[in-house]
Amino acid sequence: KSKGVGEAEMRLMRGASLAAAPLLLCSLAGAVRLSPARVPARTPPPHALLAEAAQAAAPPEWLAPAAGTALLGILGYLGATNQLWNPTTGAILPLLFLSGDSEKLAESGATTVQNEALKKFALSVTPSAWKKAYQGVDDEGVRLDPKTGEAIEGPPPLLDLPAWQGDEARELIEPEAVAVVKAMELEPIDVASVGPVDTCFVSMAPDKPADAPPLMLIHGFDSSVLEFRYVMPKLVEAGLRVEAMEWWTGGFTAREPFTKLIEQEEAKPWDLIREHQYAFWKRQLKGEKAVVLGASLGGAVALDFAAKHPECVEALILMDAGGESYAQPDPWLTSLCADPVTNLFQWRATNGLLPYPHVWAKEAGWRQALRAYLKSGGYQAVVGPQLIRTIAPPTYVLWGEEDDVLPVEDLYKYEADLPNCKAAVLIPDAQHAPALENPAFVSERIIEFTMAAAAERELPSAI
């Protein structure tokens, strides 16, 4: 606990920092639970920075005085009574503070207002390890050279990349991120209900292939294949083929074809995402079964894919996976909060508070796709314990021992519910993104699990 902070104040701070965290849907969006054991001692302490942010922030023009008074009263009550740990009550704050049509607010500039004091507070409650891994900054928000750890002055040299990857990707300097962004391809893939979709993916083949099935990696919500940048080289070195696609709403894959069907024809996101995964599998692997790994919300995507297409899956690997639970309230409330949470994402993007290296926030339709997904209520509506108990392929479960987005207890729920769970392993020194936080351990386990699946695999089924 930080010096000079009482229990009630700690609850208030924790509640304030968590107000939107339940709605980030297992993403890597950087909402970190404020646990007293993980808050580095700083001067000034976080509660003082929160007060500074509140004083410095001009009341947003879309927040009426009465609503502002109600917001402070609800914040005080829920924080002091520790009810903000509950996803449903915690959703009240973003509803009050960031409500409004996301398109109109973006056009008015309301979600792009930069408040340095509020940004300073957000950084103060983000542990150093997360900032360095996700945002590439030190405790003061200064960008660091990934090789030397020294502060970077001036603009970075720009990478020579195709136009479709955008300006922000050209500013990447971390060697692993640069290697992956240069390996990305963009090709149209025919998706059954959608048609051709410009799809960003990475395909890596080893020089000396092992006698093992290929790996198909599925990233989390609003993430990218860059999420796997530390583990992919190790997997290829071990002789494994790696295929990873950026699915709606993440990365550089086109969003508009999906968003249009979801908003105008009431298509379900999970159906379209599953069709896209199947089309990618068919195009890249041509009928060969794969070991499918799903991380965070990508775990729910992988479970849904395996349930509907067991003929594609040699084995499953779930890593801190959504399914047994979700970092969100019930689907109806997630839908109700779609606009305020979309506005929160936009504010974080404007202030450089999305996970490093988040280089697709300026892509066409990014904000609209986030909103459309949230309006749907999310995977919680279709992937849960009932579906998990039907999964036939052998499944391996990995979990960061300090996961601060989904409870570690979910590891054991998966172990109990999966009909063919082969292993349930805690990952040391890792939170919700083990592939970034302990890539050596994660790589070793993925290789181990894939080789185990190879020993049991059957001949690929003909399509």
Confidence of residue 88 (pLDDT cuts 50, 70, 90): very low
Does any domain span residue 217? yes
Please tell me which residue, 29 or 367, carries the higher pLDDT value.
367
Nearest to 71 by CA among 86, 87, 84: 84
Q: How confident is the model at residue 102 (pLDDT cuts 50, 70, 90)?
A: low
pLDDT at 271: 98
Confirm whether 320 is domain-assigned: yes
| 66-71 mean pLDDT | 46
pLDDT for 47 equals: 44
Range name among 21-30, 405-414, 430-439 with the lowest pLDDT average: 21-30
Q: Which of 89-93, 313-317, 450-454 has the lowest average pLDDT? A: 89-93
Span of 30-44, 120-134, 283-297 with lowest mean pLDDT: 30-44
Peptide bond into 126 cis (omega under 30): no
Whole-number Å distance between alpha carbons of 452 and 67: 57
C-alpha to C-alpha distances, 58 to 16, 61, 92, 334, nearest whole angstrom: 18, 9, 21, 28
**Structural domain contains residue 190:** yes
**232, pLDDT greater than 70:** yes
Please give the share of the chain, as a percent, with pLDDT higher than 70. Answer: 67
pTM: 0.78
Per the structure, the complete domain to which residue 324 belongs is given by 167-458
Decide if 5 is inside a domain.
no
pLDDT tens profile 278-293? 999 999 999 999 999 9
Tens of pLDDT, residue by residue over 149-196, are: 777 777 767 899 999 998 899 988 888 999 999 999 999 999 999 999
Cβ-defined contacts of 108-111 (< 8 Å, 24+) = 108/61, 108/62, 110/60, 110/61, 110/62, 110/343, 111/343, 111/346, 111/347, 111/350
Is pLDDT larger for residue 456 or for residue 66? 456
- How many angstroms separate the most distant Cα atoms in the chain? 67
Instruction: Provide the domain count of the chain.
Output: 1
Tokens in use for 14?
């924790």
The verdict on residue 423 lying in a domain is yes
Phi and psi, residue 294, nearest 5°: -120, 125
Q: Which of 18-27, 110-119, 256-265, 330-339 has the lowest mean pLDDT?
A: 18-27
Among 4-13, 242-251, 352-361, 448-457, name the one with the lowest average pLDDT: 4-13
Per-residue model confidence (pLDDT) at position 89: 45
Q: Are 375 and 335 in contact (CB under 8 A)?
A: yes
CA distance 274 to 277: 5
How far is it, in rounded angstroms, from Cα 273 to Cα 6? 46
The average pLDDT across 354-383 equals 92
Is residue 347 one of the residues assigned to a domain? yes
Q: For residues 337 and 23, is the Cβ–Cβ distance under 8 A? A: yes
Residue 336 lies in a domain: yes
Do 345 and 367 form a contact (C-beta atoms < 8 A)?
A: yes
Which band of pLDDT confidence, cut at 50, 70 and 90, is reported for residue 126?
low
Residue 155: inside a domain: no
Q: Is the CB of residue 354 less than 8 Å from the CB of residue 416? A: no
DSSP codes, 189-210: EEETTTEEEEEEEEEE--SS--
**Would you state the pLDDT for residue 350?**
80
Taking Cα atoms as reference points, which of 231, 298, 171, 146 lies closest to residue 437? 231
Residue 93 · residue 71 · CB < 8 Å = yes
3-class secondary structure, 326:
coil
Question: What is the CATH classification number for the domain harbouring 438?
Answer: 3.40.50.1820
